[in-house]
Amino acid sequence: MITVDFDSAIREVLASSGQISFKRAYRLDTEKYSWVSLFVRDHKARGEIAELGKKITEVQKSLIDKNELWEIFSAGVEQTRRNWLELLRNNLSKAQRHECGVIGGLHEYGVIRSELPLMAVTLISSEEIGDIIASLPDGVKRKKIEREVEDIRTKIAELEEMIEKELSPPDRWIYNDTGKRLPYPGGCRWSKFVEGWTTVIRRFSAPADIEGCALVTEDEFAAFHILELSKVGKLSPLREPWKR
């Protein structure tokens, strides 16, 4: 269950002229920062998952194998031909019943106007279409694409399993009133802490903790550098960290 509005606490730190003590509310180790290395591993793994997700999209957009393209196209043309025969049969039946003109029903503004462009394709010879297909790049066979996508999804599943088994201790998460874990990233105490620390450090001229106090211990400095907070851009006006 969420007991603290972390965002409001961060705003109070930035607006205050003195130290505000609230980091214990995150219920994280803020002495040794033992969770920071796990956070970095988690962040890296989630980045890899995102890149793999993009890779799936790229693979799925691979050029269609031209032989398979030919099969798909041929099947489409044949279906169009059958549709046309059915339309012609219906049109001539109507004409026979004096419901439309024999030729008028085939006019572009008549019964089968929308089918005219498709019908034009059926008038091109198989040899001509084959020449067009032959001039295209080879492309990638569907089964190869499916295998690559499956391999990538397997890697994603392995990373997600690793995150769940190795990087999801119970105290990492925020839970609702029913005891259900809130989803990432909003339900992750690590992420909320690092997000807040990043926001705070933008406004201080020297390394400081999430409460704006100057770092003192080796563990604090180690966590600060592991999280690369020294690379965070600054926002003026800057203030000096408070002394403990």
Q: What percent of the chain has pLDDT over 90?
A: 62
- Cis check for the bond before 170: say yes or no (omega within 30 of 0): no
* Per-residue pLDDT reduced to its tens digit, 165-186: 999 999 999 999 898 999 999 9
Q: Is pLDDT larger for residue 129 or for residue 51? A: 51
pLDDT tier, 108 (very low <50, low <70, confident <90, very high otherwise): very low
* pLDDT over threshold 60, residue 116: no
Q: Which of 44, 42, 50, 46 lies closest to 172, judged by CA? A: 42
- Cis check for the bond before 207: say yes or no (omega within 30 of 0): no
Q: Which of 153, 70, 84 lies closest to 112, judged by CA? A: 84
* Per-residue pLDDT reduced to its tens digit, 37-71: 999 999 999 999 999 999 999 999 999 999 999 99
The beta-carbon contacts of 52-59 under 8 Å, at least 24 apart in sequence, are: 52/152, 52/155, 52/156, 52/159, 53/156, 55/152, 56/149, 56/152, 56/153, 59/145, 59/148, 59/149, 59/152
Contact between 59 and 156 under an 8 Å Cβ cutoff? The reply is no
* pLDDT over threshold 90, residue 146: yes
Largest CA distance in the chain: 99
* pLDDT over threshold 90, residue 115: no
* Per-residue pLDDT reduced to its tens digit, 84-101: 788 778 878 888 887 777
Return d(Cα 43, Cα 48) in angstroms, integer: 9
